[in-house]
Structure 1
């Protein structure tokens, strides 16, 4: 099959770019003819305040990549759509935000009817919504031929937006698309009394809940918060001071390159994901790839990824007391060793086989 993927890839960073790139490699390895239509300018800086690109790729770049799309060039949206409609049997639009909807609507119009167009929804709606988001996403979903989501909750949300009419909505678990970190290294024994929050810091991620739980939990436990802060870190730093835990929190602001991840994960006993809401995340797989258990909330796909009491611990969302309980449980005698022993290698190939089958099935 001829497939065009429209989405970010290197030099753009993060999980979205890695997913697009890994998907292209795996589709090509399965015998499909694949092109990535990517961006030379994806978002205005005002809409994406963090670091958008990196110098070093976080995995092998895909050779069949074009970078003709630009947010400030509507003619590029239509031109790429026309080309994709001529060259592909299936066009997959990687959807992360309603900001992408205007370019994607123009691109979809350019495709015409020769190719089937699927909305590959990493997020059906944002965690922190703005006026107009629902209308924009509904407009896009109604104009594609199929929708692929990454969790049952996101599938249900897409169905609600479509209101019982429109294209079929399918679901496939998001497969691991981790940065190139090399083989898993054995972890030295011992307890470090340090937890790690890793990733972009936004309100729905619940770092404020984690700080409150840290204050209520074992007093010898420290925390590293590593990632980009949308809106700055001043409010969270002030909360840490107010709670009396500022001396126990290391703030590592900024994007963490892939080469620095092994050392970062080696310094912690567990990764904490205190999310208030979630769609699908790579951070459980990333922690497990480094042999680290995960403390997470029961939202999104996290309860499916973390085996409570086996390779991690689960707690209620937006509940500092229950998160503090899970942290204390993690440091109960023998518990951390048992959780580490329960961490399994990430089953990458089987997950990707299921995902590729779900995507190619949307071609009809």
Structure 2
């Protein structure tokens, strides 16, 4: 099959770019002829308050990659769409935000009905929603020939937006696409009495809940918060001061390159994911790949990846007391050693087999 993937690739950073690139490699290995249509400019800087690109690739590049799309050039949307219609049997749009909808509608118009089009929704709707988000996404999904989501909950949300109408919606769990950090290193023995929150810091991820739990939990446990802050770190720093835990929090603002991840994980005992809501995340598998157990809330796919009491601990979302209970449990005598012993790196192959079947099955 001839497939055009429309989504971010290097020099764009993070999970979205890694997913698009790994998907292209996997589809090509399965015998498909694949091209990535990536972005020269994906979002206005004002709408993405962080670093959008990196200098060094975070994994093997895909050779057949173009970078002609720009959010401010409607002619590029139509031109890439026409090219995809000529070259592809299946066009896959990687959908991350309603901000992309105008460009993707322009691409759809250029493509017409020459190729089947699937909207691959990393998020059907944003965690923090604007007034027009649902209307924009409904319009895009109705123009697709198929929709692929990453959880049953996201599938149900897409079906509600479509109000029971076409196109068909499928769900397949987001497969592992971890950054290349080199061979796994043996973890030094000992307890560091330090936890790690890693990733973009946004309200739905519950770092404020984690700070309150830190204040209520064991008084000698410290925390590293590493990642880009959506809207700045000042409110969380103020909260930490008010709670009396500022001296126990290490703020590492900014994107963490792949080569720095092993050192970051080696400094900590466990990763904490205090999300209020979630669709899919790679951070459980990333923590496990570095030998760390995970404390996570029961939202999204997190309970599928964290086996409570085996390789991590689960707690209620938006509940500082229950998160403090889980942190104390993690540091109970012998508990951390037992959780570490239960950690296993993820086997990516079954996830990718199911994912490719769900994606390409929409084009049959």
- d(CA) in 1 for partners of 2:257, 2:113: 41
* 1:190 alignment partner, SS class: coil
Alignment-derived partner of residue 278 in structure 1: 278
Alignment-derived partner of residue 232 in structure 2: 232
Alignment-derived partner of residue 247 in structure 1: 247
Alignment-derived partner of residue 148 in structure 1: 148
Alignment-derived partner of residue 87 in structure 1: 87
Shift of residue 183, structure 1, vs aligned partner: 2.0
Alignment-derived partner of residue 106 in structure 2: 106
- d(CA) in 1 for partners of 2:204, 2:341: 30
Offset from partner CA, 1:85-109 (integer Å, 9 cap, x none): 1100100000000000000011011
* 1:158 alignment partner, SS class: helix
1:185-204 equivalences in 2 (<5 Å): 185-204=185-204
Shift of residue 290, structure 1, vs aligned partner: 0.5
- d(CA) in 1 for partners of 2:346, 2:299: 21
Alignment-derived partner of residue 127 in structure 1: 127
Offset from partner CA, 1:304-354 (integer Å, 9 cap, x none): 110010000000000000000000000001100111111112111221111
1:15-26 equivalences in 2 (<5 Å): 15-26=15-26
Which of structure 1's runs of 4+ aligned residues deviate more than 4 A?
none
Structure 2, unpaired ranges of 5+: none
1:306-317 equivalences in 2 (<5 Å): 306-317=306-317
- d(CA) in 2 for partners of 1:44, 1:110: 23
Alignment-derived partner of residue 51 in structure 2: 51
Alignment-derived partner of residue 339 in structure 1: 339
Offset from partner CA, 1:282-319 (integer Å, 9 cap, x none): 10010011110000000000011100100000000000
* 1:313 alignment partner, SS class: strand
Greater shift after overlay, 61-70 or 183-192? 183-192
Alignment-derived partner of residue 353 in structure 1: 353
- d(CA) in 1 for partners of 2:351, 2:185: 22
* 2:225 alignment partner, SS class: strand
Offset from partner CA, 1:161-195 (integer Å, 9 cap, x none): 00100100000000000010122211111111000
- d(CA) in 2 for partners of 1:322, 1:209: 10
Shift of residue 113, structure 1, vs aligned partner: 1.0
Alignment-derived partner of residue 72 in structure 2: 72
Shift of residue 110, structure 1, vs aligned partner: 1.0
Alignment-derived partner of residue 260 in structure 2: 260
- d(CA) in 1 for partners of 2:263, 2:140: 42
Q: Provide TM-score, normalisation by structure 2.
A: 0.99
- d(CA) in 2 for partners of 1:348, 1:45: 34
Alignment-derived partner of residue 41 in structure 2: 41
- d(CA) in 2 for partners of 1:27, 1:181: 23
Offset from partner CA, 1:240-282 (integer Å, 9 cap, x none): 0000000000000000000000000011100000000000001
Alignment-derived partner of residue 13 in structure 2: 13
- d(CA) in 1 for partners of 2:186, 2:53: 31
Q: Provide TM-score, normalisation by structure 1.
A: 0.99
- d(CA) in 2 for partners of 1:184, 1:313: 23
Alignment-derived partner of residue 329 in structure 1: 329
CA RMSD of aligned residues (A): 0.6
Shift of residue 201, structure 1, vs aligned partner: 0.3
Shift of residue 114, structure 1, vs aligned partner: 2.0
- d(CA) in 2 for partners of 1:131, 1:352: 35
- d(CA) in 1 for partners of 2:340, 2:183: 17
- d(CA) in 2 for partners of 1:43, 1:113: 27
Tell me the matched-pair count: 364
Alignment-derived partner of residue 318 in structure 1: 318
Offset from partner CA, 1:44-99 (integer Å, 9 cap, x none): 10011100000000001110000000011000000000000110010000000000
